[in-house]
Amino acid sequence: MDIGIGLPTTVPGADGRGLVEFARRAERHGFSTLAVLDRLVYDSYDSVVALAAAAAVTERITLATSILLAACRQSPALLAKQLASLDRIAGGRFVLGVAAGGRPDDYAATGADYARRGRRLDTVLDELREVWEGKGAVPGIGPQPAGGIPLWIGGHSTAALRRAGERGAGWIAPGGSVSGYADLVRRARQVWAEQSREDAPRMVALAYVSLGEDGAEVGGRYLRSYYSYLDAKADRLAASVIADAGRLREVVDGYAEAGCDELLVFPCTGDPARLDLIATAALP
């Protein structure tokens, strides 16, 4: 199983230059992927801009949105240009992970219809491909991606799994417990079979990690803030943060046994030095 790392773009107050150093260290340590979360109404960096900065200081590591709220974007043509530019800057290392999302305020901020976000996401994905293939309503929008941009779909609803089976190369589970992951793998593979797919889905999962002397406190504070809209569930997520190196190793092994192809571990602080602790515990 591959181990990727989250770029802490959603940690409030994260230093911009620190994010750049974080990207450099992630590649040096040998993580498979550098991933970003996406929020609009929050103290966070723009996903595409942050990955472009990471692309400029790395050469090997995959760069992924996990996930991008593409349905919030009002102009698929502009988004297509931005994502293709990112992929070209990265030399074809970009993976587009998308999901419908669950925060109405992110949609309200751009005037997008939250109630129709799933249908809107399907439309945006269609239009992205059309632009990249030179078939958009307005021809001539460039550049084209360096290669085919792989698509990962996030979410565990029936609609999300259907979307993944119809369009995706992989599926991303929301952050949660490893205990139910094997069943999600089974469901995803079943959807792939129902779509008569000959390939297997790339199964991706997320876990939140906060190592260090005050790891549990730092991680809990961040997750309660980031997931505050979930009310009581935010407290449960905060309590489940992985704050011990031994526990992280157990979680890594558990996801591997459950059928995960790549685990993305997201740090709860923007301090690049904490990345070293995660690498020591999580990487072979």
DSSP states along 96-143: EEE---S-HHHHHHHT--GGGHHHHHHHHHHHHHHHHTT-SSSTT--P
**DSSP annotation of 180:** G
Which pair of tokens denotes residue 26? Answer: 């992630």
CB atoms within 10 A of CB 198: 6
| pLDDT averages per 10-residue partition of the chain, 284 residues | 98 95 98 97 97 98 97 95 98 97 95 96 96 90 94 91 93 85 92 91 96 94 94 90 97 97 97 94 94
Looking up tokens 């297997």, which residue turns up? 200
pTM of the model as a whole: 0.96
Tell me what pLDDT residue 137 has. 82
Rg (CA), the chain: 18
Which pair of tokens denotes residue 40? Answer: 């609009």
Contact predicate 35/264, CB 8 Å: yes
3-state secondary structure (DSSP) of residue 149: coil
Q: What phi, psi does 138 have (nearest 5°)?
A: -115, 105
3-state secondary structure (DSSP) of residue 235: helix
Q: How far apart are CA 28 and CA 90, in angstroms?
A: 16
3-state secondary structure (DSSP) of residue 179: helix
Tell me what pLDDT residue 245 has. 97
Tell me what pLDDT residue 147 has. 85
Q: Which helix (H) or strand (E) holds 36?
A: strand 33-36
Which pair of tokens denotes residue 105? Answer: 């305020």
Q: Which domains does the chain have, with CATH numbers?
A: 2-213+243-282 (3.20.20.30)
Contact predicate 144/134, CB 8 Å: yes
Tell me what pLDDT residue 37 has. 97
Helices (H), the chain: 16-29, 47-56, 76-89, 104-110, 117-132, 158-167, 181-194, 215-226, 232-239, 245-258, 272-282
